[in-house]
């Protein structure tokens, strides 16, 4: 056989849709899944011009694909990836390329790259974003690994990726686990923007008692402005969806408020701490999902821990200021994530080009937004920009909008509505722009109780003092 251009392992949400997307672009693709029903139904979905074949046999699957083989895994992260690799290995040969398209934890990718290199197999970690529709009609893809192996995959990935002004939302990002790392931070940013939107909705709904339809209109209007983005767009659609079970009101009002997660946001925060890249908005978003799980405790606490709203900001003023406050927070979130990538690139030797990262995030992915073109331009101007807050254009916009952001945050606090991400973005901005921080006190305290020593700001050297 050996006639298929590409193979995909895992015919679930992402694998099946990406396979059909590839087939749309005239690539012949074989699919492998443990579930016979999924493998069989694939061929039923084929259009006339598609060349696709589904199987549950790893041997048959590997036999279908032209050598050197190009195979992508789209199975859940963790053990299923190792299991899928193990099932393929007996049938793979030197020179074959395996691409992990899932949300794998980046150290796992580094391990797999090494293990498979010993067998002459190129292993690639490639984050994919865009969900079900993105995979089907054009995702953003973040590949990392062996640069030569990528050249073989490039035509197929560029064909199926989303396009912005004709430019594909995929590019080679760097060696080893660079692709998984960039996707991990993408998801960290995703968590923070989702929480920012949730906080905005909360302030309007619980803080001001604004009707859902009016909140929907605000998000729809924002999507026509500089705040235009996929997450804002889907929020306005979610705020329109009626509940079909009860036939009464919005479905959203029946959705449980205990949020789930699969790990990428947490890994972003954990690794940010390891490499000392502060990302407080992402940390806050992860923590809010965690707090949301303590439903019973929250219900009990709400009965005893009371606060009386003493806000002086009118609903009209909030509607006016929220737009600027949202922009301010959103840019801060991207700045934190991009600064993490800047630091991680040096730490792990990825050689990331942040202009390219911003470029491939403009379309296809969950965090696509109009502002990503401004982010891209900031890096075109200054490729080694350590923090987007220092870009002239973005910095000026943030300076103009910070007043609104500060008032909105005050209003959240006055009303007793949680605003973990909104408040963290102001603190980040204020810390980053502080020539002096009170951390001299921390250094003095460390020296006082632990003889940890300190440096002085007026002379060289390391000092210790008997403080009393
Ligand atoms: N869903 C989304 O929006 C996005 C998901 N991702 C990532 O993509 C990856 C895949 O996600 P998704 O498509 O949603 O997952 P699904 O659970 O929908 O699909 C995974 C498929 O892989 C199959 N599978 C598991 N182990 C093996 C194996 N050893 N050999 C062959 N097939 C196997 C599963 O079969 P079975 O069900 O029988 O176990 C299932 O059909 C994950 O890492 C996810 O985090 C990335 C971006 C967006
Ligand atoms: O990668 C994705 C989007 O970019 C996936 O949808 C992922 O599952 C989202 O993360 P979580 O499930 O933790 O919210």
Confidence label for 26 from pLDDT (cuts 50, 70 and 90): very high
Query: Is the predicted pLDDT of residue 45 greater than 90, yes or no?
Result: no
User: What is the structure's pLDDT at 276?
Assistant: 98
End-to-end CA distance of the chain: 83
How many domains is the chain partitioned into structurally?
Answer: 2
For the stretch 258-290, pLDDT in tens is: 999 999 999 999 999 999 999 999 999 999 999
What's the complex ipTM? Answer: 0.98
Question: Tokens 């498979």, residue?
Answer: 116
Residues marked as catalytic: 183, 190
- Residue 106: pLDDT above 90? yes
Cα 32 to Cα 299: distance, rounded to the nearest angstrom: 46
Domain that holds residue 362: 183-432
Q: What is the pTM of this model?
A: 0.97
Whether the pLDDT of residue 76 is over 70: the answer is yes
440 lies in some domain:
no
Percent of the chain with pLDDT over 70: 100
Judged against a pLDDT cut of 70, whether residue 19 lies above it is answered with yes
Among 9, 11, 13, name the best residue to mutate to test ligand 1's pocket (greatest count of ligand atoms within 8 A of Cβ): 13
Q: How far is CA 112 from the centre of its chain?
A: 23
35 Cα–ligand 1 center, Å: 11
Of 176, 194, 213, at which residue does a domain stop?
176
Determine the average pLDDT of the residues in 221-240: 98
Question: Nearest Cα to 333, choosing from 187, 228, 143, 234?
Answer: 187
- Quick check: is 457 in a domain? no
- Within 13 Å, how many C-alpha atoms sit on residue 120's CB side? 7
The predicted model gives 61-67 an average pLDDT of: 97
Pocket-forming residues, ligand 2, beta carbon under 6 Å: 103, 129, 131, 187, 190, 261-262, 264-265, 366
Residue 435 has pLDDT above 80, yes or no: yes
* Nearest CA among 156, 100, 155, 163 for reference residue 137: 163
Please report the pLDDT score of residue 437 as a whole number.
98
Q: What's the pLDDT band for 346 if we cut at 50, 70, 90?
A: very high
CATH number at residue 386: 1.10.1040.10
pLDDT score for 284? 98
SS3 of 52, please? strand
CA of 262 to the centre of ligand 2 (A): 7
Domain containing 23 — which CATH number? 3.40.50.720
Average pLDDT value over all residues in the chain: 97
Regarding whether 245 and 171 lie in a shared domain, the answer is: no
Predicted confidence at residue 256, as pLDDT, reads: 98
Question: In this model, does residue 232 exceed pLDDT 70?
Answer: yes
In sequence order, which residues have a C-beta less than 8 Å from that of residue 87 and are 6 or more positions away?
58
Using CB distances shorter than 6 Å, the residues near ligand 1 are: 9-15, 32-35, 38, 74-77, 80, 83-84, 87, 102-103, 128-129, 131-132, 262
Per-residue pLDDT, 1: 59
Would residue 450 count as lying in a domain?
Answer: no
Q: How far is the CA of 345 from the centre of ligand 2 (A)?
A: 23
CA distances from 326 to 212, 297, 413 (A): 18, 30, 16
Residues 144, 174 contacting (CB under 8 angstroms) = yes
| Within-domain flag for 149 | yes
The answer to whether residue 442 sits within a structural domain is no
Assess contact for 18 and 132: CB atoms under 8 A: no
pLDDT of residue 2: 63
Q: What is the pLDDT of residue 46?
A: 87
> Average pLDDT for residues 65-90, to the nearest whole number?
98
Domain boundary pick from 121, 149, 176 = 176
Supply the residue whose CA is at minimum distance from atom 23 of ligand 1. Answer: 10
Banded pLDDT at 44 (limits 50, 70, 90): confident
């Amino acid at each position: 056989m050996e006639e298929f251009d590409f193979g995909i392992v895992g015919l679930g949400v992402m694998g099946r849709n990406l396979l059909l997307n590839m087939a749309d672009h005239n690539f012949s693709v074989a699919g492998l899944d443990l579930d016979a029903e999924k493998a069989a139904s694939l061929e039923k979905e084929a259009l006339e011009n598609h060349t696709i074949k589904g199987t549950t046999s790893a041997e048959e699957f590997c036999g279908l694909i032209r050598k050197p083989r190009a195979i992508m895994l789209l199975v859940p992260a963790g053990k299923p990836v190792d299991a899928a690799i193990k099932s393929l290995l007996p049938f793979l040969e030197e020179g074959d390329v395996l691409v992990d398209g899932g949300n794998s934890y980046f150290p796992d990718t580094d391990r797999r790259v090494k293990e498979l290199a010993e067998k002459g197999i190129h292993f690639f970690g490639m984050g994919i974003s865009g969900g079900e529709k993105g995979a089907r009609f054009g995702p953003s893809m973040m590949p990392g690994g062996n640069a030569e192996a990528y050249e073989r995959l490039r035509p197929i990935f560029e064909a199926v990726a989303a396009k912005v002004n004709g430019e594909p939302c995929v590019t080679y990002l760097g060696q080893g686990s660079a692709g998984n790392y960039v996707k991990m931070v993408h998801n960290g940013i995703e968590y923070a923007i989702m929480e920012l939107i949730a906080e905005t909705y909360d302030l309007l709904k619980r803080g001001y008692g604004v009707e859902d339809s009016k909140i929907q209109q605000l998000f729809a209007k924002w999507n026509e402005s500089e705040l235009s983005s996929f997450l804002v767009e889907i929020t306005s659609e979610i705020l329109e969806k009626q509940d079909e079970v009860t036939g009464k009101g919005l479905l959203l009002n029946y959705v449980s408020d205990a949020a789930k997660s699969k790990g990428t946001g947490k890994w972003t925060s954990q690794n940010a701490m390891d490499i000392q890249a502060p990302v407080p908005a992402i940390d806050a978003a992860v923590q809010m999902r965690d707090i949301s799980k303590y439903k019973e405790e929250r219900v009990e606490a709400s009965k005893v821990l009371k606060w009386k709203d003493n806000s002086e900001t009118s609903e009209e003023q909030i509607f006016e200021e929220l737009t600027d406050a949202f922009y301010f927070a959103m840019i801060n979130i991207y700045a934190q994530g991009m600064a993490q990538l800047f630091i991680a690139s040096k730490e792990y030797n990825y050689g990331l080009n942040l202009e390219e990262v911003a470029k491939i995030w403009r379309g296809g992915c969950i965090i696509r937004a109009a502002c990503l073109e401004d982010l891209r331009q900031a890096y075109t101007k200054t490729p080694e920009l350590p923090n987007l807050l220092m870009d002239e254009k973005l910095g000026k916009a943030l300076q103009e909008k910070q007043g609104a952001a500060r008032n909105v945050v005050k209003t959240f606090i006055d009303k007793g509505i949680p605003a973990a991400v909104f408040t963290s973005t102001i603190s980040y901005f204020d810390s980053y722009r502080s020539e002096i921080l009170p951390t001299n006190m921390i250094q003095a305290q460390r020296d006082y109780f632990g003889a940890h020593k300190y440096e002085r700001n007026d002379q060289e050297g390391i000092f210790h003092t008997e403080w009393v």
